[in-house]
Structure 1
Amino acid sequence: MVDCRPVSTPLPTKLILKYIPGSAYERLEHYWQITGALQYLMITCPDLLYAINYLCQHMHSPLQSHYQLLKRVLRYVKGTLSLGLPIQPSSLVLTGFVDLDWATYHIDHHLITGYYTFLDNTLISWTVRKQSSIARSSTEAEYIALSIVACDII
């Protein structure tokens, strides 16, 4: 994989895998080791979260196609070695930012909340998820979002 050609996305944009009998990947420990090592990259490369999560869902019985996807993720990592979230020594100033999507998700009326937390210039936490409760106003929704960030910081 040292001389591999880099790719621009960790997974194909249209991911279609069919189970083909007899196409199980034989070297389970090899798959486990590479996938486990890639999990450490998720700390500084959030663009790998979905791809590595997908590969980890098939740890018990990976197919040859999963191993091909694993190699594709490695090719993506090779092409993006200079990218990532920098972790640098700095002061201990903790800052949190939050944003929410008010009244646009009409199916179940739960709001989408996104937040991230910085320790000076270093990103240490980020999440995007639906709120667990339904707010009756934008002010209430903002209070809920702020409480979620406060709990994460604490």
Structure 2
Amino acid sequence: MAGLQKCNSVAKPSFSKPIVTATDDHPCFDATLYRRIIGSLQYLTLTRPDIAYAVNVLLQHMHDPAPQHTLMLKKLLRYIKGSTDFGIPQLRTFSDADWASDSVTRKSTSGYFTFLGNTLVSWTVKKQSTVSRSSTESEYRALAAATTDTLWIRRLLLDFRINLSNR
């Protein structure tokens, strides 16, 4: 699409200083292609937070990209080309339950939290809806709720075509 399949990569995705171009320079991409690429990169920021700032800077010039903005986009694409192994790490969920923790209702409290790599993406602590007869039963209920949430997150990631490895 952008014709950069054989480009060299760069080490940083962001720009500390604007790229200076001559006034008669032509843009690397036309405005329509610029918008298409930026639109695609918006979705990529969900799995690549390292490019979020650079994409945001380029989004601000989406309606009238100057030649310097197309050069900045080209630099960002070169960074992405050199860092294709970056992305979403492993999905992990932890759960626990406190059996009969409410002294009045004898209901257990369960909690779970889910990490995507080192980032907490979901957590819940709540009283279970029924009384458990044993600590095993309350742990099972907590695990069932955590599994349901984890499967939902996994399916959401698959909707974005992010396939997590089964480790």
Give the shorter-chain TM-score range: 0.5 to 0.7
Which structure 2 residue ranges, 5 or more long, are not aligned?
Answer: 96-111, 122-167
Match of 1:29 in 2: 32
User: Does residue 13 of the first structure (1) align with residue 16 of the second (2)?
Assistant: yes
- Write out per-residue CA displacement over residues 33-52 of structure 1, whole angstroms, 9 at most, x where no aligned residue: 00000111111111111100
Which structure 1 residue ranges, 5 or more long, are not aligned?
Answer: 94-117, 126-154
What secondary structure, in the 3-state scheme, does the structure 2 residue paired with 1:33 have? helix
The CA deviation at 1:28 is 1.5
**TM-score, normalised on structure 1?**
0.54
Cα distance in structure 1, aligned partners of 2:113 and 2:42 = 22
- Identity among equivalent positions (%) equals 34
Match of 1:46 in 2: 49
Counterpart code for 1:41: L
User: Does residue 58 of the first structure (1) align with residue 61 of the second (2)?
Assistant: yes
Match of 1:85 in 2: 88
The CA deviation at 1:79 is 0.9
Aligned residues: 100
Bigger radius of gyration, 1 or 2?
2
Aligned-residue RMSD, C-alpha:
2.9
Counterpart code for 1:48: I
Q: 1:2 to 1:39 in 2, by over 3 A?
A: same
**TM-score, normalised on structure 2?**
0.50
